[in-house]
Amino acid sequence: MPNLPLTQDVTVESAPTGRRVEALEMLRIGRTRAHRILAAAAAGNMDVQGLYLARRAERLVGAAWGQVVPGRSAFCWPAVLSPGEPEDTATRLQLAVDDYLRSAQVALAQAVLPVRAVADVVRLVRAGYQHLTDLDYLVAAHESFPRLRPQSDLQFQPFTPADETRLSQLIERTYVKSLDCTELDGMRAMHDVLAGYRETGEYRPEWWLFAQHAGRDVGCVLLADHPDHDQAELMYMGVVPEQRGHGWGGQITRYAQWLVAQAPRQRMVLAVDQNNWPAQGVYAFAGFDHWDRRCVYVRNMQART
C-alpha cells in the first residue's frame, strides 16, 4: 500500500482528557480559551468528543475538531500538523472527525476560515467539503441605532411557542429566490435550523419578530443576545419574495436596532453572503460597517458517498 510507511506509526484517537488543552492549542486556540472550552464541556454545555489528535509515540503531531452543536450541525476545525508531518496524517484526522460527526447524526458540518487559509481549504476539499460562499461580517455601533421607535409601514409581533409552525413556514417562504447561501436549502429540516438559532447566544423570544403588513406575515427577524460582549446578533432577516421591493428589509432592520437599543447593547453584528447584494444594501442603509470576510466550506454528512 503506497504511503503507509509514512504514517504507519501514527496513532489517531479521540483526545484523552489529559491532552485536550494541548490538542486545542495545536488548533491555534489559546490556553485561556481552551480552559474555558473544557470548563463548558465539563458543565455539559459544549461537545469535545469530536476533538481528535495524532501522535507518534507520545509526541503530538496533529489535531482536528468537529464540534457538534444543536440543530444537527457541527463546526469543523480542520487538521493542523506539526512541521514536517506528512499530509496523510491530516487525512486520517479529518476522516476520524467526520466519522464521529456522522455517528452523532450531524446533517451539516461547516468550517468558517480566513480567506487565505490555503492549507485548510486543501485539506477540507480533499475530505469532500465544498465551498459554500464568502461571508462579510458587519457591525453597527449603538450610535447608529434609532433613538425613537422608527415609523414603519409594518407591524411587529413577537414569537411565542405556539408560533413554531408559523415561523417555520414563513422562513421557508423567505428562502424563495433569496441570494443568501442558497446552496444550504434542504440540507437541514427547519426545526433543526430553529434549534440552532435558539442555542446561539442567549435566546430571547421577544427578539424573534414577525413583520406584518395588512394583517399578513411578510417577513421576520431573529436576534440573539450576547450580554457578555455587550452586543446583539442579527442571525436572520428575510422578506417573502412577493413583498420585496418596498424597503421593508430596511424597516425591519431599523426596528431591530431600536429594540436592541432598549436593552441596551453597544453594537449589533451579523454575517451576510457577499453575493446577497440586496441585503448588503439594506445593511449599509442601516449603518453597518464591514470588519471581516471569511470563506465557508460545508459538507452534507448524511449524503451517500
Q: What per-residue confidence (pLDDT) applies to 7?
A: 45
Q: Which residues pair with 82 in a beta bridge?
A: none
Q: How far apart are CA 86 and CA 77, in angstroms?
A: 18
Residue 265 belongs to some domain of the structure: yes
Alpha-carbon Rg for the chain in angstroms: 21
Residue at a domain's end among 63, 84, 106: 106
Please check whether residues 226 and 94 belong to one and the same domain: no
Mean pLDDT of the region 77-86: 96
Which SS3 state, helix, strand or coil, does residue 58 take? coil
Residue 89 belongs to some domain of the structure: yes
Please check whether residues 94 and 178 belong to one and the same domain: no
Residue 304 belongs to some domain of the structure: no
Residue for cell digits 458543565?
A: 43
Please check whether residues 248 and 146 belong to one and the same domain: yes
Residue 73 belongs to some domain of the structure: yes
Residue 210 has pLDDT above 90, yes or no: yes
Q: How far apart are CA 209 and CA 170, in angstroms?
A: 11
Residue 303 belongs to some domain of the structure: no
Please check whether residues 145 and 260 belong to one and the same domain: yes
Residue at a domain's end among 62, 88, 106: 106
Residue at a domain's end among 106, 125, 153: 106
Residue 20 belongs to some domain of the structure: yes
Residue 73 has pLDDT above 60, yes or no: yes
Q: What per-residue confidence (pLDDT) applies to 302?
A: 81
Residue 113 belongs to some domain of the structure: no
The CATH number assigned to the domain holding 257 equals 3.40.630.30
Q: What per-residue confidence (pLDDT) applies to 4?
A: 37
Tell me the residue ranges of DSSP E strands in the chain.
10-14, 51-56, 59-69, 73-81, 108-114, 130-141, 155-158, 208-213, 216-226, 231-239, 267-273, 289-300
- Would you report the helix, strand and coil content of the chain in percent, each value rounded to 5? 35, 35, 30
Residue 219 belongs to some domain of the structure: yes
Q: What per-residue confidence (pLDDT) applies to 113?
A: 95
Report the number of distinct structural domains present in the chain: 2
Under 8 Å between Cβ of 60 and 19: yes
Strands 231-239 and 59-69: unpaired
pLDDT confidence band for 177 (50 / 70 / 90) = confident
pLDDT confidence band for 182 (50 / 70 / 90) = low
Enclosing domain of residue 237: 138-294
pTM reported for the whole predicted model: 0.87
pLDDT confidence band for 224 (50 / 70 / 90) = very high
Q: How far apart are CA 264 and CA 232, in angstroms?
A: 9
